[in-house]
Structure 1
Amino acid sequence: MEKQKITVEATINAGNQKVWTYWTSPEHIVNWNFASDDWHCPSAENDVRTGGKFRSTMASKDGKMSFDFGGVYDEVIPEKKLAYKMEDGRQVEVLFEDLGNNTTKLTETFDAESTHSDEMQRAGWQAIVNNFKKYVEGV
């Protein structure tokens, strides 16, 4: 059975190189990789190459909940595409489209999981992408 795919996206007022760097560099990932202000990302590691692994920790600021998010890259095309497999086997593809005029469209498509509704998953991943956009445009 083919998994349901969900897509989230944002148009970011920054050049493609900056968007790529802020998406892939651990020193930036810790500043945007969470869905709401009561969460944070205390750590991130990222080996951005085909076969490379990544991991980040997302945690509630009150310390009551946390989880690790990680996987392995299947394809890396710098400033254009990341494809990876999460630890549970689901696939994710992130596209970086240079729209010119210092603007980049980021599109992330992922296999849905069966525990939460598609709407809840879309909202959570979109919130993270929106947080990324806010961070990149604010720096």
Structure 2
Amino acid sequence: MSKETTKPISVTVEALVKAPVEKVWKTWNTPEDITKWCQASDDWHAPYAENDLRKGGKFKTTMAAKDGSFSFDFGGEYTNVEINKVIEYIMEDGRKTKIVFTAQGNETKVVETFDAESENPVEFQQQGWQAILNNFKKYTESIS
């Protein structure tokens, strides 16, 4: 049997956050904040986050069902970090992600592009990542 070497499907989610890029960047990367926004639905939470934001640095966020039925660690290693502009990383399974932060006056456009995994439908993954990004937007806009 030959192993197929197909290029992963690239998926993009985005949000316009009503906050300056410096605040958006800080909220995206501070572990205390990550634990408050990094979940796709209200029955999940992120009880733990660590982040070494530099090229070669690693990050890990524990995502868990609030009822304790399931949890997993989401993590990877940074390959590019340009403060207030770009974050790129490779997930532990080898997939790549790029997040671009674009200042637009007092708002920031966040565009996240990731390689889809092959176990779940692409639409499901896009909805999940978009839900997390929407939570990020809501949380960031709610803090002073």
TM-score of the superposed pair, with normalisation by structure 1: 0.99
Please name the residue that 2:58 is paired with.
53
Residue 73 of structure 2 corresponds to residue 39 of structure 1:
no
**Structure 2, unpaired ranges of 5+:** 1-5
* From 18, 21, 28, the counterpart of 1:16: 21
CA displacement at 1:118 relative to structure 2? 0.6
* From 128, 137, 141, the counterpart of 1:137: 141
Q: State the number of aligned residues.
A: 138
Please name the residue that 1:107 is paired with.
111
The separation in 1 between residues aligned to 2:117 and 2:65, in whole angstroms, is 22
Please name the residue that 1:79 is paired with.
84
CA displacement at 1:11 relative to structure 2? 0.1
Residues 80-139 of structure 1 deviation map (CA, whole Å, 9 limit, x = unaligned): 000000000000000000011x10000000001100001000000000000000000011
Residues 7-51 of structure 1 deviation map (CA, whole Å, 9 limit, x = unaligned): 000000000000000000101000000000000000000000000
* From 113, 126, 130, the counterpart of 2:130: 126
CA displacement at 1:2 relative to structure 2? 1.2
Q: CA RMSD in A?
A: 0.4
The separation in 1 between residues aligned to 2:142 and 2:42, in whole angstroms, is 16
Larger radius of gyration: 2
Instruction: Give the 3-state SS of the residue equivalent to 1:11 in structure 2.
Output: strand
The separation in 1 between residues aligned to 2:25 and 2:70, in whole angstroms, is 29
Instruction: Give the 3-state SS of the residue equivalent to 1:3 in structure 2.
Output: coil
Residue 95 of structure 2 corresponds to residue 90 of structure 1:
yes
CA displacement at 1:53 relative to structure 2? 0.2
The separation in 1 between residues aligned to 2:36 and 2:111, in whole angstroms, is 20
TM-score of the superposed pair, with normalisation by structure 2: 0.95
Instruction: Give the counterpart letter for 1:47 in structure 2.
Output: D
Q: Percent identity?
A: 55
CA displacement at 1:3 relative to structure 2? 0.9
